[in-house]
Amino acid sequence: MTDLVLIWTPGIIISFCGAVIVAISVGFALNQYFRNYKHMLYFAFMWGFWFVWMLFQGISDLLVSDLVLSTNLHFVCFYALVGIGYTTVLFVDAVSRTSLDPLKLILVTLASGAVILFSFDGDAIIINTEGILPYPTMNGRFRFANLILMFLIVAMLIYVNLKILLNTPKNLIKFSRINLAGVVLYGVFPVLIQFTDLEHFIPGIANISIAFGVTIGTYALIKQPQTAFILPFKAYRLVIVDTDVGMPIYSYEFMSSGEKFKEGVFSGFIKALGTLFDFTLDKGKVREIHLDEAVLILHSSDSNPLVSILIANKSSPSLLKAFQAFSINLYSEMFQNYQYSPELDNFSFIGDYVTKYFSFIPRE
């Protein structure tokens, strides 16, 4: 029986150091998630799968003296890539659509299925001896399937981040550029390295790129989480209306109405508000009214003459969830701790709720 020899190389050290850096990024992403930035959960899972990739790449390289053990452990890297593919779809559609895109799911599922199927090929992973040091690497049909999956992941990330960059307000443009640079480092460069076999000559270069990319991407999203929500919507204004008198008691503007929102849309709605509530409206639920240039999202109190109105160019699941949580908790707070009267100017505290529940919405 051959003794197991641990072969420490600069590339292996880089893999383990990179895994630690990515694990720290997972922690930061989870911290943001628990601070009410729910989209950061997708990044936490994505970074988590990158952590698995880098960790097991380092372990399989370290144990390359045992060919069977090394190649078997190396498969874990590519199964983690399948997880990255699905979390990428979830993130991209969460910030660019109102529902999951079946085409993306089908393409990722087909590519992932090919990765898993071809992983059973006898030569799916081989020990490459052409580089400076021997290391396990994908081969044959298995390599081809993985490259297709990598290409899909990169294409989705580049597409949505370019759209975000093109639509980013000036005050957030710096962070959108940093985030896009991170995507290039942890997405584009590793794929190019696989195509060019650069890893032969510079061991660990792909993991260096991934670690730096994840780090600066996490930095951008922690400093300005709103950059992920340039798409799919633009929120214009939030209004709380007393339906008995048909007048707003609170208004907050997310974007400049002069440039982004026509006042006539809102004025027309206020005039129609009295008529609207003459009809049956389920209390305590979110409803939408679609106009030519905007959507009006409403949530009415089930026990008091108040309705919250959020005006945006279109709706999204993240916006609806935040709006519903805002409305329910606001109504509860107002009538537990404040003496409600539409004549009294005692609603300045509502601004704190706007900050708490809508912190992810970009401002101008």
- List the one residue out of 138, 90, 87 whose CA is nearest residue 114: 138
- pLDDT for 197: 73
Do 108 and 143 lie in a common domain? yes
Domain end call among 206, 229, 252: 229
CA gyration radius, the chain: 25
Peptide bond into 232 cis (omega under 30): yes
Do 200 and 295 lie in a common domain? no
Strand partners, 247: 242
Q: Domain of 102?
A: 10-229
Q: What mean pLDDT comes out for the span 71-88?
A: 92
The first and second tokens of residue 118, run together, are: 């071809």
List of long-range contacts for 287-290, beta carbons under 8 Å, 24+ apart? 288/315
Do 116 and 22 lie in a common domain? yes
- List the one residue out of 94, 96, 104 whose CA is nearest residue 165: 96
Taking only the tens place, the pLDDT of each residue in 210-239 is: 889 889 988 887 887 767 666 556 778 888
Task: Quickly state the pLDDT bin for 1 (edges 50, 70, 90).
Answer: very low
Query: How many percent of the chain have pLDDT more than 90?
Result: 18
Do 101 and 157 lie in a common domain? yes
Would you say residue 4 lies in a domain?
Answer: no
Instruction: Tell me how many degrees the CA angle 133-139-141 measures, rounded to the nearest 5.
Output: 170
Higher-pLDDT residue of 339 and 201 is 201
Domain end call among 229, 258, 293: 229
Taking only the tens place, the pLDDT of each residue in 279-334 is: 445 554 567 777 777 788 888 877 777 788 888 877 776 677 778 888 888 877 76
DSSP letter at 159 equals H
pTM for the predicted model, two decimal places = 0.72
Does residue 205 sit in helix, strand or coil?
helix
Strands 286-290 and 295-300: antiparallel
- pLDDT for 108: 95
Mean pLDDT of the chain: 79
Would you say residue 333 lies in a domain?
Answer: yes
Q: How many CB atoms lie within 10 A of CB 4?
A: 10
Asked if 16 contacts 55 with a C-beta cutoff of 8 angstroms, the reply is: yes
Strand partners, 290: 295
Segment (H or E) for 133: none
Do 126 and 146 lie in a common domain? yes
Q: What mean pLDDT comes out for the span 33-46?
A: 81
Would you say residue 154 lies in a domain?
Answer: yes
Do 39 and 145 lie in a common domain? yes
Would you say residue 3 lies in a domain?
Answer: no
Do 49 and 130 lie in a common domain? yes
Do 209 and 247 lie in a common domain? no
Domains contained in the chain, number: 2
- How far apart CA 299 and CA 280 sit, in angstroms, is 14
CATH assignment at residue 119: 1.20.1070.10
Do 174 and 280 lie in a common domain? no
Would you say residue 362 lies in a domain?
Answer: no
Taking only the tens place, the pLDDT of each residue in 53-73 is: 989 988 888 887 777 888 888
CATH assignment at residue 342: 3.30.450.60
Main-chain phi, psi angles of 298, to 5 degrees: -120, 145
Domain end call among 229, 251, 278: 229
Per-residue pLDDT for 175 more than 80?
yes
